[in-house]
Amino acid sequence: MSLKTVSGLLAALVGAGYFLINNREITLTKSELECAKLPDSFDGKKILVLSDLHKKRYGDNFNNIMDFCKAQEPDYIFFAGDLYSRDETDMKPKAAFMARLQSIAPTYYIIGNHELFQPECLEALCMKLKSLGVTVLRNSRTVLEQDGESIDLYGLQLPLRYYINSNWGYSHLPVPSVRYLQKKLGKPDPQRCSFLLAHDPFFFENYAQWGADVTFSGHCHGGIIRLPLVGGLLSPERKFFPKYTKGIYNSKTFGIDRRLVVTTGLGKFRLNNPSEILVCTLRKRK
């Protein structure tokens, strides 16, 4: 065997090893999230943000990821959609996973795009999650309360047509207008702090115009492949260099600071882009 062949095999082995490790690695990201309208009693509270589990398990009964989550001692847990992949039908492991999250802190769940491919499974899962104490937000609102103060938390569920065409393509997808958001979610009280869970981050400007002070999203899987100095390479819609893939983004709408929080999520193929557990510590912006 020639030296060139041996070198090629070694390079392939190293590449395969890096790929396998990268797709099993979990990173913990900690961020401070400022919000001008945040009630004083929420300052310092921690939100653990998860998304896009898909088919990943992370050890028996999700033990590895649960150890990570529990150690953060969050006050709230937000799961921003795609709890399972479109071809999964066994919901028992997913319900067990969410029940374990609920045992750590109050857990809030919204629907992504993959859940929409299995509507019967989705309805059964939502009923089970509600019975376990998990709050399922489907174009609805709940209230987070601390010491007599509160935040309105909304959860958006978009129809499948916003993610994929009837011919299974991604061209000319619709955009949810502010009027559409008002129809589905109602109009938020501008005097109150409003958080929005919305699976797809690419409609951030419309979420901000609707009135979300902070939006929490996933969906983009960190851009699937992350390039140094560039960021995420590809969106699930097969668009190169998507705008929102990871981190906290800012927008000033009507002179008001709005925030978008995007987690890279937990599942799916990824390269130079480890799965992420995101912890946001809320801060009152002075």
CATH number where 108 lies: 3.60.21.10
Q: Which residue has the higher pLDDT, 36 or 286?
A: 36
Please tell me the pTM assigned to this model.
Answer: 0.92
Q: For residues 201-216, give the mean pLDDT.
A: 97
Give the range of the structural domain holding residue 32, as residue numbers without chain letter. Answer: 3-284
| Upper half-sphere CA count for residue 228 (Cβ side, 13 Å) | 0
pLDDT-derived band at 241 (thresholds 50, 70, 90) equals very high
Give 236's DSSP letter: T
pLDDT of residue 3: 52
Is the pLDDT assigned to residue 6 strictly greater than 70? no
pLDDT of residue 22: 53
Is the pLDDT assigned to residue 9 strictly greater than 50? no
pLDDT of residue 23: 55
pLDDT of residue 252: 78
First to last CA, the chain: 68
Q: Which of 60, 55, 66 is nearest to 26 (CA)?
A: 66
pLDDT-derived band at 57 (thresholds 50, 70, 90) equals confident
Buried b (16+ CB within 10 A) or exposed e, 136-175: bbebbebebeeeeebbbbbbbbbeeebbbeeeeeeeeeee
Looking at every residue in the chain, the average pLDDT score rounds to: 91
Q: Which long-range contacts (CB under 8 A, 24 or more apart) does 142-149 make?
A: 142/108, 144/42, 144/76, 144/195, 146/39, 146/41, 146/42, 146/45, 147/41, 148/41, 149/39, 149/40, 149/41, 149/42
Lowest mean pLDDT across 3-12, 58-67, 112-121, 140-149: 3-12
pLDDT in tens, 251-262: 877 667 899 999
pLDDT of residue 1: 60
Q: For residues 71-97, give the mean pLDDT.
A: 96
Q: Is 264 exposed, middle or buried (0-12, 13-18, 19+ CB in 10 A)?
A: buried
pLDDT of residue 17: 43
As for how many domains the chain has, the answer is 1
CA gap 24, 266 in Å, rounded: 9
